[in-house]
Amino acid sequence: MTKAGDNLAIDVRGLTKTFGKRKAVDSVDIAMPRGQVWGFLGPNGSGKTTTIRMLCGLLRPDAGQGTCLGYDILKHSREIKRQVGYMTQKFSYWEDLTIRENLEFVANLYDIANKKQVVDDTLEQLGLTTRQKQLAGTLSGGWKQRLALAACTLHSPKMLMLDEPTAGVDPQARRDFWDQIHRLSAQGLTVLVSTHYMDEAERCDQIVYIAYGKLMAQGRVEDIIDQSGLYTFVAEGTGVRELMERLRNKTGADHVAYFGNALHVSGGNLDALTALIKGEQVVGIIWHQARPSLEDVFIHLMGQSVDNTAVA
């Protein structure tokens, strides 16, 4: 018999963590189905790493409850650690060991049976076989991240939690990394990946967005945009740069930002925004209403939350 929630890889409610006086994570609920790839987004210092660490049993929440892979996050952290592959933000492998030696070291830590075969298979699966004798310290950022991904899949986890795995990595290497994520997902792994890149968010089945500890949105990218209550007008043509300065802080324009040669002017009040745009019908500039981008929506959500990261 299956229990309600069995299909959820993560099912937590009220997750809270305070450091000193600052609530790093404030009553966050997440219900993430198994087998999906979820993006975890939010401004710097918003509590993504802290949440991931609580979910995978490395940090005890001050409040809240729930399960990860069916295990209680408060009581069964050992089981969770065994079944989750966690890739930290900072490269944490041995630079003076080769790729293969690093993986063998990790295999020993997990006491993996049939170590040679598992390392061979992992090298092959992540396209590292030809580089297995290269010292980790001599790898480019993209290859280092691939090694880190290999290391966190070695013990055959059911779920991966990847903390900003592609930060500072070039676009081709990012694309290759995401191909690997989707390949692993196709094999049945559930993946939660934190990122600041909008294109990566759009590669996910669903996303969670937190700002300064608070959950602001959860769902499919399209639905989050639809439910944002945000309206966007785009201005193109000569003179848009002057427009930007003029529209900043005007009633109706909550956010003004460049995307390529176009200016996106967004706001939550359609009447006020339309009135503002009507007053800016100048020669050389063409206006049209557009669907807000995910970035427009995130900036909007961020503006609705209180930045608690300043040092008191």
Ligand X SMILES: Nc1ncnc2c1ncn2[C@@H]1O[C@H](COP(=O)(O)OP(=O)(O)OP(=O)(O)O)[C@@H](O)[C@H]1O
Contact present, 85 and 106 (Cβ < 8 Å): no
Give the shortest CB-1-to-ligand X separation in angstroms: 38
Binding map of ligand X across residues 13-42, x = CB under 6 A, - = no contact: ------x--x-x-----------------x
Give the shortest CB-300-to-ligand X separation in angstroms: 18
Give the shortest CB-47-to-ligand X separation in angstroms: 4
- Spell out the alpha helix ranges (H) of 8-160: 48-55, 77-83, 99-109, 115-125, 141-153
Q: Which H, E and C letters describe 220-284, residue by residue?
A: CHHHHHHCCCCEEEEEEECCHHHHHHHHCCCCCCCEEEEECCEEEEEECCHHHHHHHHHCCCCCC
CB nearer to ligand X: pick between 49 and 83: 49
Give the shortest CB-24-to-ligand X separation in angstroms: 3
CB nearer to ligand X: pick between 63 and 275: 63
Give the shortest CB-46-to-ligand X separation in angstroms: 4
Phi, psi of 3, deg, nearest 5: -85, 155
CB nearer to ligand X: pick between 194 and 232: 194
Binding map of ligand X across residues 35-74, x = CB under 6 A, - = no contact: -------x-xxxxxxx------------------------
Give the shortest CB-49-to-ligand X separation in angstroms: 3
By CB under 6 A, how many residues form the interface with ligand X? 12
Q: Which residues contact 104 (CB under 8 A, 6 or more apart)?
A: 115, 119
CA 104 from centroid of its chain's CA atoms: 29
How far apart CA 145 and CA 87 sit, in angstroms, is 9
Please report, as residue ranges, which positions from 70 to 99 form the binding site for ligand X (by CB under 6 A).
Answer: none
How far apart CA 12 and CA 288 sit, in angstroms, is 42
Parallel/antiparallel/unpaired status of strands 206-211 and 37-41: parallel
Query: Would you count residue 309 as binding ligand X (CB under 6 A)?
Result: yes
Burial class, 274, CB count within 10 angstroms (exposed 0-12 / middle 13-18 / buried 19+): middle
What secondary structure letter does DSSP report for 135?
B
CB nearer to ligand X: pick between 218 and 266: 218
Binding map of ligand X across residues 218-237, x = CB under 6 A, - = no contact: --------------------
Give the shortest CB-254-to-ligand X separation in angstroms: 23
CB nearer to ligand X: pick between 35 and 45: 45
| Residues at the contact surface with ligand X, assessed by CB under 6 A | 19, 22, 24, 42, 44-50, 309
